[in-house]
Structure 1
Amino acid sequence: MSQLAIEIKERTFNENAKKIRKNGEVPGIIYGEFMDNTLPIKVNSSKLKSLLKYNSKGSILSFKFKDEAKKCVVKQVQKDNLTGEILHVDFQYVKSNETIKMNIPVNYVGQENLESRKLFLETFLPELEVQGEVEKIPEYIEIDVSKKNYEDKIFSKDVELPEEVKLVTKPDILLALING
């Protein structure tokens, strides 16, 4: 998983979300098993956008809050459907070696080989739920489809995960199908 850095500021629940966004920040919240209360926050919008451009749900972020470094996982990013503007972000505070459940994206590689054989990949599930220690969960799962043939199916049980990470998604879920 990525080790990214981001600075956050605390906000009060009565701060207007529109005003926060107008000031170039995104409202959000941090929660976690090891926190007494949820923490309402605000994050610089442009920095958050650049971090989330290639790293979304499942990325570990190191954040600085009141001169203290913490780690969290991006749990949810709410965007405006028309503009793509980030409206709100949820983070889960985690400790090193903590066991958590989370969804991680599935990336397919080798699709150009399918296309050269007039085949295409039809995907049904963009991410899988896994459980493991924070540091051991991969940022994404990569599946090579270059040698797949017409009507080959890829199920969640076919995915290779690190030994320390368990699949939570049911094993018989169809992830993708090769069509012609």
Structure 2
Amino acid sequence: MTEITLSAEIRKTGKSASNQLRRAGKIPGIYYAPGEEPLPIAVKESELKNLIYTTEAHIVKLKLNNGKEFQCILKDVEFDPVTDKPIHFDLYGLKAGARITLEVPIVLVGKAPGVEKGGIIEHLLHTVEVECSSDAIPEHIEVDISKLDIGDSIHVRDLNIPGVRILENELAVVVAIVPPRGFEVEAEAKPEEAQPSTPSQPEKQSE
């Protein structure tokens, strides 16, 4: 898995201090790990964006201004509801061999036959929450769509990654090939209508 280096500084806590950091182009965050005291930190917004806006999961090499270094993952990001800019983040420290949960991106591979027929790809699940060893974190999960025709779909239950437990609802749809607007399924041939029978003439009785 790719490792990204993130330089951070120990910060003061409090709303006023956090707002001052944001005005200076920095994002307040927290580093925490089992058995360790949480560390309030801050990083440059430009550096954090490289970690947030990516199609891969990464291990973070956190380098603090006090000389300490930690291996961690990005656990959570809070965004401003108006500007959609990151305003806070959480980093979770890794311990060798420990089981962790995290979000892993889904990447579609292959060409779906249904698309060549005019179908449209609906990629409904872009990330999945998984549980795995900290030593075997997948960068992403590949989903092969090369056998999908119009009307076909792949669900969470269809994903199988050795050593990784997927925590999402197994019935959730990951990707589907839907028909284009105006697409009509060929109607079944109607059975031939039976010809109306000619009413039988009543028998003429002899006088």
Fold shared per TM-score above 0.5: yes
Q: Structure 1 vs Structure 2: percent identity of aligned residues? A: 27
| Structure 1 Cα separation of the partners of residues 55 and 126 of structure 2 | 15
- Which has more strand, going by share of residues? 1
Within-5 A mapping of 1:12-161:
12-14=12-14, 15-35=16-36, 37-54=37-54, 58-65=57-64, 66-110=66-110, 114-161=114-161
| Structure 2 Cα separation of the partners of residues 30 and 170 of structure 1 | 29
CA RMSD of aligned residues (A): 2.2
Q: Which residue number in structure 2 is paired with residue 171 of structure 1?
A: 170
The worse-fitting range, judged by mean Cα deviation, of 132-141 and 12-21 is 12-21
- Contact 2:28 2:88 (8 Å CA) reproduced: yes
- Contact 1:34 1:93 (8 Å CA) reproduced: no
The change in CA–CA distance for 1:86 and 1:113 in structure 2 (over 3 A counts) is farther
- Contact 2:61 2:70 (8 Å CA) reproduced: yes
Instruction: List alignment gaps of at least 5 residues for structure 1.
Output: none
Bigger Rg, structure 1 or 2: 2
| Structure 1 Cα separation of the partners of residues 70 and 139 of structure 2 | 19
Instruction: List alignment gaps of at least 5 residues for structure 2.
Output: 180-207
Query: Alpha-carbon deviation of 1:111?
Result: 5.5
**Alignment TM-score, normalising by the size of structure 1:** 0.86
More RCO (CA 8 Å, sep 6+): 1
The worse-fitting range, judged by mean Cα deviation, of 122-131 and 107-116 is 107-116
| Structure 2 Cα separation of the partners of residues 104 and 50 of structure 1 | 16
Query: Alpha-carbon deviation of 1:83?
Result: 3.4
The change in CA–CA distance for 1:151 and 1:113 in structure 2 (over 3 A counts) is closer
Letter in 2 for 1:145: I
